[in-house]
């Protein structure tokens, strides 16, 4: 199972280019898709999920082309999709919702369907509330139901769009762990789209950064962090905000305000160099200080 | 059968309750007006005017009111089949309402309105309901909003009631225009009682509904038209 994107673009009416000339080759495993709001992540996900037709370029999921109507039905057979905003039916229980979705996904054998739903409810730790109506579920529980829904057909290609947005830390970690376990099962491509850097840092061996519809980075998380090597500083000021620098954090201290900043060259003599994190690398890339070319040159060196 | 059960469960319970209340109210008014005021028009009003509205409102939510529609669109079963099953449930509900009402009328010894045999008389409620159901569905698919779909159906219904004198009278429309208007008027049983083209009117309405249904199918042929993203 491999996913191949070539010159993939999507332009909405009004000439709004949401995705521009994306080239990617995706192998089995968990890949993180990172980018700010409006970067084009959801549009890219929707094209891969057969919900949107690309304006230009091709996207092949295994042997199937998302542009071909006949292939789209085949893609749906191997696809699991958890959208950014999944609405659930408040009148149905978790079990009924999964049963209904399983029928729509083509799981017609009642016994096998029941077995699969039970397994998934166990996987997402909702077996004990399977018969409770969804209207009473918390945000985290709803996401877990959504993830179970995406896994109903044991998909070879799983797309999860912002699965942890708005969740408390415990639920976020739980979802992340589930995704990592699914990736470990092997053979499956999982695309995790998020704007939360921490999620990617904890789960992915490869990440792609999108910005204004274009790929700005494609590599390992440590490679992205390395972009900010020698550019991550800690400095304390009496209150003046550092200019022309990307600020990663601000912490009030007894002697002034401590800033963690990303910039090149060293901002002040007394600024202390720090070991960069993935977030620092991401900030460097996104701040406009690091262009795509700079980033690539750094990676090559 | 399992799928059908879920489609029924997905219907908006508040609307179902309102539909039940509408039926009960119609039944009471029919009994009251026929036996107390000796008026037969109320039977026609309930079947032709009242029954189509709640089902048209329900139809507007068949896709646009589905909170999980993005996931539904990635399912193996084509969207049009899912929506068609939901519309079938709505039509089934309408049929149950109407047949129960027929039985109720039989118990009260009130004659069924319309021409022809029992089956043809069912066109009193069936034809206008079909038009409003598919107009509502089409508007909801086009606008991606169940509210807009329901508003279009209620708007057409209201306009035909308010403007019925203009639509079937010769104050404004003349000649061919008037002929056409009368033959596609939604409430011909009530306001065109006894006209020879009643059956033709019902058939033309069913034809209009078929055209609207085809337009709905076409609209459902591309997911981006349903979810946005053209």
CA dist list (Å): B55 to A96, B30, B150:
25, 20, 10
* Residues of chain B below pLDDT 70: 12, 38-40, 229-230
Closest residue in B to A67 (Cα–Cα): B222
Angle between helices B123-143 and B146-162 (to 10 degrees): 140
Are residues A202 and A287 part of one domain? Answer: no
Task: Pick the closest to residue A38 from A88, A87, A84 (CA basis).
Answer: A84
Q: How many domains does chain A have?
A: 2
Least Cα separation, residue A7 to chain B (angstroms): 19
Q: Do B74 and A76 touch (CB under 8 A)?
A: yes
Average pLDDT over residues A113-139: 94
The per-residue pLDDT for range A47-101, each reduced to its tens digit, is 999 999 999 999 999 999 999 988 999 999 999 999 988 899 998 999 999 999 9
How far is Cα A30 from Cα A172, in angstroms, rounded to an integer? 16
Least Cα separation, residue B95 to chain A (angstroms): 24
Are residues A199 and A238 part of one domain? Answer: no
Are residues A242 and A145 part of one domain? Answer: no
**Percent of chain A topping pLDDT 90:** 61
Cβ contacts of B6 on chain A, cutoff 8 Å: 92, 96, 99-100, 103
The pTM is what? 0.88
- The 3 state secondary structure assigned to B75-97 is CCCCHHHHHHHHHHHHHHHHHHH
Least Cα separation, residue A51 to chain B (angstroms): 6
Domain ranges of chain B: 2-227
Q: What are phi and psi of A86, to 5 degrees?
A: -95, 115
Tell me, what's the ipTM? 0.88
Average pLDDT, chain A: 89
Are residues A271 and A129 part of one domain? Answer: no
Average pLDDT over residues A229-250: 86
Residue A21's pLDDT is what? Answer: 95
Q: Do the Cβ atoms of B146 and B140 come closer than 8 Å?
A: yes
Q: Please identify, among A184, A219, A254, the residue that sits at the C-terminal boundary of a domain.
A: A219
Q: What are phi and psi of B210, to 5 degrees?
A: -65, -40
Domain that holds residue A234: 224-300
The per-residue pLDDT for range A244-269, each reduced to its tens digit, is 788 888 999 888 899 999 988 788 77
Three-point CA angle A31, A36, A41, nearest 5°: 50
Are residues A188 and A42 part of one domain? Answer: yes
Q: Which residue has the tokens 């109320």?
A: B42
Confidence of residue A293 (pLDDT cuts 50, 70, 90): very low
Are residues A135 and A62 part of one domain? Answer: yes
Least Cα separation, residue A76 to chain B (angstroms): 6
Q: List the CATH number of the domain containing A36.
A: 3.40.50.300
Quick check: A83 contacting B, CB < 8 Å? yes
Are residues A67 and A99 part of one domain? Answer: yes
Q: Do the Cβ atoms of A278 and A226 come closer than 8 Å?
A: no
Three-point CA angle A256, A262, A265, nearest 5°: 100
How far is Cα A156 from Cα A186, in angstroms, rounded to an integer? 9
Residue A292's pLDDT is what? Answer: 47
Cβ contacts of B14 on chain A, cutoff 8 Å: none
Average pLDDT over residues A111-116: 95
Q: Do A89 and B227 touch (CB under 8 A)?
A: no
* Chain A interface mutation, best of B76, B86, B144, B230, highest count of A Cβ atoms under 10 Å: B76
Residue B230's pLDDT is what? Answer: 64
Q: Do the Cβ atoms of A49 and A79 come closer than 8 Å?
A: yes
* Chain B interface mutation, best of A100, A148, A151, A154, highest count of B Cβ atoms under 10 Å: A100
* Chain A interface mutation, best of B62, B68, B78, B220, highest count of A Cβ atoms under 10 Å: B68
Q: What are phi and psi of A21, to 5 degrees?
A: 45, 55
Residue A99: its H or E element: helix A94-104
């Amino acid at each position: 199972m491999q996913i191949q994107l070539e010159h993939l673009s999507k332009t909405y009416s009004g000439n709004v280019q949401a995705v521009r000339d994306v080239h990617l080759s995706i192998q089995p495993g968990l890949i993180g898709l990172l980018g700010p709001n409006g970067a084009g992540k959801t549009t890219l996900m929707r094209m891969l999920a057969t919900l949107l037709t690309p304006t230009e370029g091709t996207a092949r999921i295994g042997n199937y082309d998302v542009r071909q109507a006949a292939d789209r039905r085949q893609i749906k057979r191997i696809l699991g999709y958890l959208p950014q905003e999944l609405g659930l039916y408040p009148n149905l229980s978790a079990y009924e919702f999964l049963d209904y979705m399983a029928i729509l996904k083509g799981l017609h054998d009642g016994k096998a369907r029941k077995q699969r739903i039970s397994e998934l409810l166990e996987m997402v730790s909702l077996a004990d509330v399977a018969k409770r109506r969804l209207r009473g579920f918390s945000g985290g529980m709803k996401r877990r139901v959504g993830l179970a829904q995406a896994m109903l057909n044991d998909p070879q290609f799983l797309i999860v769009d912002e699965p942890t947005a708005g969740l408390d830390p415990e639920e976020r970690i739980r979802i992340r762990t589930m995704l990592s376990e699914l990736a470990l099962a092997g053979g499956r491509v999982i695309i995790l789209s998020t704007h939360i850097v921490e999620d990617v840092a904890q789960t992915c061996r490869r990440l792609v950064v999108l910005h204004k519809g274009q790929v700005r980075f494609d590599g390992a998380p440590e490679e992205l962090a390395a972009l900010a090597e020698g550019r991550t500083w800690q400095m304390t000021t009496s209150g003046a905000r550092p200019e022309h620098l990307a600020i990663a954090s601000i912490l009030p201290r007894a002697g002034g305000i401590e800033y963690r900043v990303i910039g090149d060259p060293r901002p002040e003599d007394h600024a202390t160099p720090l070991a960069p994190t993935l977030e620092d690398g991401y900030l460097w890339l996104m701040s406009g200080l690091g262009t795509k070319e700079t980033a690539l040159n750094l990676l090559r060196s | 059968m399992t799928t059908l059960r879920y489609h029924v469960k997905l219907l908006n319970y508040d609307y179902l309750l309102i539909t039940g209340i509408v039926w009960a109210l119609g039944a009471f008014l029919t009994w009251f007006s026929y036996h107390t005021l000796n008026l037969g028009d109320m039977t026609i009003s309930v079947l032709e005017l009242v029954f189509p509205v709640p089902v048209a409102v329900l139809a507007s939510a068949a896709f646009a009111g589905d909170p999980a529609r993005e996931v539904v669109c990635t399912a193996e079963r084509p969207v049009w089949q899912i929506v068609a099953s939901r519309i079938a449930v709505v039509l089934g509900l309408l049929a149950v309402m109407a047949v129960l009402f027929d039985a109720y009328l039989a118990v009260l010894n009130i004659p069924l309105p319309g021409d022809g045999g029992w089956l043809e008389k069912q066109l009193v409620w069936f034809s206008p309901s079909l038009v409003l159901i598919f107009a509502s569905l089409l508007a909801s698919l086009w606008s991606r909003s169940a509210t807009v779909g329901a508003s279009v159906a209620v708007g057409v219904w209201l306009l035909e009631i308010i403007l019925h004198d203009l639509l079937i009278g010769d104050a404004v429309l003349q000649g061919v225009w008037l002929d056409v208007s009368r033959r596609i008027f939604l409430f011909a049983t009530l306001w065109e009682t006894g006209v020879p083209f009643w059956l033709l009117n019902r058939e033309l309405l069913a034809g209009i509904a078929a055209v609207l249904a085809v337009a709905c199918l076409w609209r459902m042929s591309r997911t981006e038209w349903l979810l946005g993203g053209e």
